[in-house]
Amino acid sequence: MKNTRAIVCRPSFVICVLFLSFCSCLSPQCRDEKGEPVDWYYVYKLPRERNHLNPLIREGVAYMYLTPSKLRGGWIMSNKAIGDPLSMVGRTLEPLYKDKNTISVLYNDQPPTNEYQPDMLQSVAAMYSRSKKGQTKNGGVNRYRKFKLGESYYDDYDLVEMCKMHAKYMKTRVENGHTKGVVLGDKFTSLWLVHSVPRFPPVPNMHGLNVSSYSYPATGMKYGQSFLCVSVQTSTLNQIATQLKYNEPLISYYNLPEEFNSELPNLVDVVKNKTINAAPWYHIESFETLGGRKFLSFAKTGRFNDDLYSGLVGEVLQSDLLVESWTNGPGTLDSECTRHFQVRNIERLKFPMAKMSFTSHNDHSKWAVAVAHKMHNSQDAKVADYWVCVGDINRALSQEARGGGTVCTSGPILWGSFAHLIESVQNWYIYKPPSKVVPFFELGLNFTFIIPDSPGRWGMSNKYITSNSMLQNTLAPLFRPTYSDHLAVAMYDYREGDHRFAGSVARGILMADELGGVWIYHTVPNLVNLWNGRQTFPEKESSNGHLIMCLSMGFQTANAIVRALRNLYPKVTYLKIPKKLQHLLPEWNLLEIPLKRPRSSAQRFVTRGNTPVELLIQRPGDNQSIYQTFASSKYIVLDVYGHSDSEYISSIWSRKYSVRNIDSISIKLPEKVIYINNMTDRMRFAVSTAADWQTLGLGPKQYWSCISNLDKEDMSGAGGDMLCVEDYRVWRTFDNLKVKEPSCIS
């Protein structure tokens, strides 16, 4: 009986041992939060937001993810912290700490550090302290020193000397690529994790310390970060290693068993720091995951000396790109609009599932999407336009001379998940002041602007209106051949009057594709010249002040606007409607055909940003003031500014409403106030008086801002329109232009 019992017990013991062994030695593959293998995934670590309701977001450790099985549902918000060993990234990197026989290559241009390994600044500080200048300075009293590094204190003088020493040190070394990632593998399966996180992940044997588990650095919590993981056959690592040789990585840790030397010679080269020494200085590699999904890897060396996205990716994919990358460093590149395929910087992101939005200044992730022409709801492998790329290099001047790369794949559903994160600016205003204001404006190309989150003052742009401005980026599709079959365009301008027709002063541009449209309302004669090849600004108008506004809208609103404009009989300077859009925009072909029964009632609509808008029409031959019409309809006091060769005849004052003249305006910047000479200013605007310190009409407070091409008291009878927006921030920004409150003179 004893022998029988022994025979019965042994198999169960063997099974237990095998099971435990299996659990502790997972094969290297991308893994979900349950530890199950997945073919690939994308993880987006969200930036820290101190006042958010979600505690994980408050701490800067929240993340969302995409996996193949749940791709149709879009981004999923995890309830785990990114630093949790049970997170997707933690589960994926578990073999790094559990199995000493795993192929492991960790590379990071900002490698992990701890108290036993000072970072670069501390190293330079130590060098400085040992120098003659440092020893002389260190004789001072510590309480006057501002910075503490290690056990020493330093002041501003010390910092300057350290910078000099650091610059001298940098000249003596060749800089590695700006590239971050992890390669893990065994005999059969492997993974490649491409990410953007400095000081990550912790290496298993850091300076003699046995790091036995996964963690996430505190330095990576403040900003957003990106991860792409792909599961591949181990033989595919040789292709991936080819890309790493071009990337010129800084290896922070590796473990490559000798048995793989013959199978993976390129990976052996990588860990031996062998790089590319012959042109071409870039390489494109196609590979497949275990599940058969195709990826395209782009890699460049430092000698490529160009932006990866505009110099290589856009040209190869034959597509315009929208790029999200680090914008806080020196030498950030502007959007590239001069090459055959444009590369534009993403400026703001939205995450409805996390109830947050933020600018690119809060994001350290690195990804790009192709500019596709319409959304798809089905996975179509034949559609080549829907590229998504995730990598490790930024759009920065300094990184043109550094190695780095990105990994791309195509698919409309995946593309839509990333593209929907981009928060386009739904409305904006540009005010280009006259050139004869201050020397700073002498070229006539500087401008101020309002966007939806403006703080109530005009923001001074650091760009010229002709160079990567919001105007140029908005109008860019007009000049792109790839948009010709997808973009409807209607441009109209001033029409001179004659003895039968009083003329029309309306000016604007309407554009629409399969997703909706925009309306650019402006005061600039001949704003667009399609023969130039790119958007410029009319040289004859550079000395004058002008106002330009852009509103985003749906098809129904775009049609209603054109129908209203037909009351004015504007001069159509360009009209093109692709066949696929004609059923969505039936009014556009009729823009130059006047309505038989003109209507002048106000058109009310809401922009895509949910801003209430009213469009008022003054038909040719109608001598009534459009400003007076609006003020009387709203029972408000309306203050009007516009170009005038002499004083206005009078203000309009009544018990129910008033219209007053704004004599002068100024742009109030934090560092100075700029007074505007309205003799060369073509801007015309009006604001309601809604604040407590202003004269009120009989109606409730209303925050209206209006722009028009019509003078307050135009006696010519020319037709025109006025566009009014009810938005407190916009109103406050326009109201802030006034030098003083106008007075009513009966």
Mapped to the 3 state alphabet, what secondary structure does 342-368 carry? CEEECCEEEEHHHCEEEEHHHECCCEE
| Alpha helical stretches, state H, 341-448 | 412-419
More confident residue, 606 or 171: 606
What is the spatial distance between Cα 285 and Cα 290, in angstroms, rounded to a whole number? 16
Structure tokens at 350: 């939205």
Q: How confident is the model at residue 627 (pLDDT cuts 50, 70, 90)?
A: very high
Which residue matches tokens 């505690």? 55
Quick one: which of 689, 684, 728, 678 has its CA closest to 706?
684
Q: 736: Cβ–Cβ under 8 A, 6 or more apart, which residues?
A: 456, 457, 458, 668
Round to whole Å and give the CA distance between 642 and 633: 21
**What is the pLDDT averaged over residues 415-423?**
93
User: What's CA 117's distance to the chain center, in Å?
Assistant: 36
Kindly list the distances between the CA atom of residue 735 and the CA atoms of 438, 550, 656, 744, in Å, as whole numbers in the listed order: 22, 19, 21, 17
Does pLDDT of 130 surpass 80? no
3-state class percentages of the chain: helix first, strand second, coil last, to nearest 5: 25, 30, 45
Highest mean pLDDT among 146-155, 392-401, 459-468: 392-401
Asked whether 336 and 343 are in contact (CB, 8 A), the reply is yes
51 compared with 24, residue with greater pLDDT: 51
How far is 601 from 67, CA to CA, in rounded Å?
53
What integer is the mean pLDDT of 682-690? 91
Q: How far apart are CA 402 and CA 408, in angstroms?
A: 20
> In this predicted structure, what is the pLDDT of residue 646?
45
The secondary structure element, H or E, covering residue 518 is strand 516-522
Cβ atoms of residues 234 and 185 within 8 Å:
yes
Give CA–CA dist 478/495, Å, rounded: 23
Identity of the amino acid at 451: I
Map out the domains of the chain as residue ranges.
40-109+177-419, 120-171, 427-735
Q: Which of 66, 46, 68 is nearest to 57 (CA)?
A: 46
Here the tokens at position 729 are 């921030």
- Tell me the average pLDDT of the chain: 84
Q: Which pLDDT score, from 0 to 100, does residue 62 have?
A: 98
| Structure confidence at residue 439 (pLDDT) | 53
Mean pLDDT of 172-195: 90
Q: Is residue 316 classed exposed, middle or buried when 0-12, 13-18 and 19+ CB atoms within 10 A define those classes? A: middle
| Burial class of residue 1, CB neighbours in 10 A (0-12, 13-18, 19+) | exposed
Residues 301 and 403: beta-carbon distance below 8 Å: yes
pTM for the structure as a whole: 0.73
Range 218-234 burial, b when 16+ CB lie within 10 A, else e: eebbebbbbbbbbbbeb
Name the least confident of 53-62, 196-205, 378-387. 378-387
Mean pLDDT for the stretch of residues 667-686: 87
More confident residue, 438 or 477: 477
- Average of pLDDT values for 355-374? 89
DSSP calls for 100-136:
TTSEEEEEESS---BTTB--HHHHHHHHHHHSHHHHH
pLDDT at 734: 96
pLDDT of 614 higher than 90:
yes
- pLDDT band at residue 654, thresholds of 50, 70 and 90? confident
pLDDT at 628 > cutoff 60: yes
